[in-house]
Amino acid sequence: MSLTNATYATGRRKEAVARVWIQPGSGKFTINKLDIERYFDRSGLRILAQQPFKTTQTDERFDVTVNICGGGVSGQAGAIKHGLARALCAYDPNFRPVLKKAGFLTRDPRAVERKKYGHHKARKSTQYSKR
């Protein structure tokens, strides 16, 4: 697939970074040279990654090529959603109000909280003994 007339955007979520290219086509969705059904075996992650298309009603209008690295599968699906929404905005600015209202253009800042010293995990402390 040549990406000469493609629109590019970057999406991020947790530690995952997705580089997304969209171009007019038949609806082919490729992630790291694999089909989306082979890359995400859980249907919920496929639905999450394709939400910007459902919101803008452009399901079968674009071919998508994604190069993603870092994070886990959930973070990667969120990064693809963020990058896809930004790419759709760059392709057609009329999509921006719809995607902004749905909250797809805002990067989700939630990440894993760091472990504190004296604790087992970020917040789990040692067991308290009264006597």
Examine residue 115 and state whether it is found in any structural domain, yes or no: no
Examine residue 84 and state whether it is found in any structural domain, yes or no: yes
Examine residue 126 and state whether it is found in any structural domain, yes or no: no
pLDDT tens for the chain, residues 1 to 131: 566 788 999 999 999 999 999 999 999 999 999 999 999 999 999 999 999 999 999 988 999 999 999 999 999 999 999 999 999 999 999 999 999 999 999 999 999 999 999 999 999 999 999 98
Examine residue 130 and state whether it is found in any structural domain, yes or no: no
Domain extent at residue 24: 7-102
pLDDT reported for residue 1: 56
pLDDT reported for residue 60: 87
Q: Which two tokens stand for residue 65?
A: 């090529």
HSE at residue 86, side-chain half, CA atoms within 13 A, is 18
Tally of domains within the chain: 1
pLDDT reported for residue 62: 94
Examine residue 129 and state whether it is found in any structural domain, yes or no: no
What CATH number has the domain bearing residue 84?
Answer: 3.30.230.10
List, as one string, the DSSP characters of 2-55. --TT-EEEEEEETTEEEEEEEEESS--EEETTEEHHHH--SHHHHHHHTHHHHH
Examine residue 118 and state whether it is found in any structural domain, yes or no: no
pLDDT reported for residue 5: 81
pLDDT reported for residue 127: 92
pLDDT reported for residue 59: 85
What is the H or E stretch that residue 84 is in? helix 73-91
pTM of the model: 0.90
